[in-house]
Structure 1
Amino acid sequence: MTTGKRRTPAGAAVLRDDITAAIRRALTQELAAVGYGRLSIEAVARRAGVSKTAIYRRWSSKLELVLEIVSASAGRKLPTLDTGSLRGDLQLLFAAVVHALRHPLAAQIIPDLLAEAARNPQIDQTLQQVLRARQQEIGGRLVERAVRRGELPPQTDPDAAVDLIAGPLYWRLAIARTPLTEAYLETLVETVATGLGARRALPRQGGTGTD
């Protein structure tokens, strides 16, 4: 099974970090441009300005290279979601998600890889791990905190809540490609909070109690 980790070079070869970074950037750009099916190591090497050998010293195949890039995205931490209210946390989360979904990795690459996953079990497994990691992070930091504050019912299903929170943004940005406005995001915050059955948070000690 492919782990997504970089290969250990044979002999005394030294892997320069700047070349590794250039290859990763080139892979992201090429994958966004042509998709996984048409992706080639040769094209990535040309875009990065390196030889194919430089790539194969680090990764054994295009699959291993792609899986590392996707897996690395799961390790990027979301901002701390603790504004004192669910609505405030949603505003912060939506801002982070909008920024992330405008990146080629989410807007073009992930939809392409989701289609490829139907044919490739390794890609499917990696994507599922990435999605689960994001669900657990959001559920742990946002939904469970809102339950503890008494804003959400104790029986709130974190997975269903995450689907309701992230689904509309992903649809508009990655599928429909519809521009987002501040007014829409404000409406979405209230719609999602209401849909989850949220109550207004109790004021923090010394706070104003506003969102």
Structure 2
Amino acid sequence: MTTNADGPQQPRPRRRTPAGAAVLREDVTEAIRAAVFEELAAVGYARMSIEGIARRAGVGKTAVYRRWRSKLHLVLDVVSALAVQGLPVPDTGTLEGDLRLLFEVTSRALRHPVASQVIPDLQAEAARNPEIAEAMQKALRDGQEGVASRIVAAAERRGEVRPGFDDELALDLISGPLYWRSVVIRTQKLPKGYLPSLARATAEAIKAL
């Protein structure tokens, strides 16, 4: 009870939390995100539907729409989340060793059955949809390129590369060949010794910049 100059007042009723403000369960959110990847791999972006995602996640359509207002926004969120997850930053003590470890991890990720189907499909959609194109670019830039830039910076601190080298070209050298093999021409099985050779050649090329 409160009082003021006019005398005592009735106790103020407690404010109830609006039903729409309920906390969203993280396990449901993650189940929906996982279902998006599976649905993309199964039917592609064009044929993907909120109904199919909800069915695969074992939830109702309302659970999806409470989190994302459309199929496009759901896919953009999932793609952007790739950038947040990132890749581990190798620390082997040498540029070649760091590159080899990065290439091994990236190669496994790109050759994953789901990723090998989802990424080309999203690339095709990106050619038609600027929002998806921007999300894809951010995921790639903040993912592998973010790690690659730290690998190159570490090599510079160790004196393995010359001062004033072209760091943008170095990132292209690191990111280009494996992405071309795994995503563009979709080579499922790399030649024996390819990754060590690629790491060695890339390290030498960067040192020559």
Aligned to 2:207, which of 193, 197, 208?
A: 197
Deviation at 1:92, TM superposition (A): 1.5
Q: Is the counterpart of residue 161 in structure 1 residue 151 in structure 2?
A: no
Q: Is the counterpart of residue 75 in structure 1 residue 84 in structure 2?
A: yes
Look at both structures and tell me which one has the larger radius of gyration over its CA atoms: 2
Count of residue pairs the alignment pairs up: 191
SS at match of 2:46: coil
> How far apart in 2 are the matches of 1:46 and 1:10?
24
Q: Does the 8 Å contact 2:156/2:163 carry over to 1?
A: yes
Q: Which moved more, 1:160-169 or 1:22-31?
A: 160-169
Q: 1:165 to 1:105 in 2, by over 3 A?
A: farther
Counterpart code for 1:11: G
Q: Is the counterpart of residue 90 in structure 1 residue 99 in structure 2?
A: yes
Aligned to 1:183, which of 193, 196, 199?
A: 193
The residue aligned with 2:150 is 141
> How far apart in 2 are the matches of 1:10 and 1:157?
55
> How far apart in 2 are the matches of 1:89 and 1:52?
44
Counterpart code for 2:187: R
Q: Does the 8 Å contact 1:27/1:44 carry over to 2?
A: yes
Q: Is the counterpart of residue 122 in structure 1 residue 160 in structure 2?
A: no
Q: 1:12 to 1:134 in 2, by over 3 A?
A: closer
The residue aligned with 1:33 is 42
| CA deviations over 1:23-48 (Å, ceiling 9, x no partner) | 11111100122221111111111211
Q: Does the 8 Å contact 1:101/1:173 carry over to 2?
A: yes
Q: 1:146 to 1:198 in 2, by over 3 A?
A: farther
Q: 1:69 to 1:144 in 2, by over 3 A?
A: same
Equivalence map 1:7-26=2 (5 Å): 11-26=20-35
Moved over 6 A (4+): none
Q: Does the 8 Å contact 2:173/2:202 carry over to 1?
A: yes
Deviation at 1:69, TM superposition (A): 0.6
Counterpart code for 1:99: R
RMSD, matched Cα: 2.3
Q: Which moved more, 1:150-159 or 1:103-112?
A: 103-112
- Using the size of structure 2 for normalisation, the TM-score is 0.80
Identical columns (%): 57
> How far apart in 2 are the matches of 1:16 and 1:107?
30
Give unpaired runs (5+ residues) of structure 1.
1-8, 200-211
The residue aligned with 2:58 is 49
Q: 1:118 to 1:16 in 2, by over 3 A?
A: same
- Using the size of structure 1 for normalisation, the TM-score is 0.80
Counterpart code for 1:170: Y
SS at match of 2:45: coil
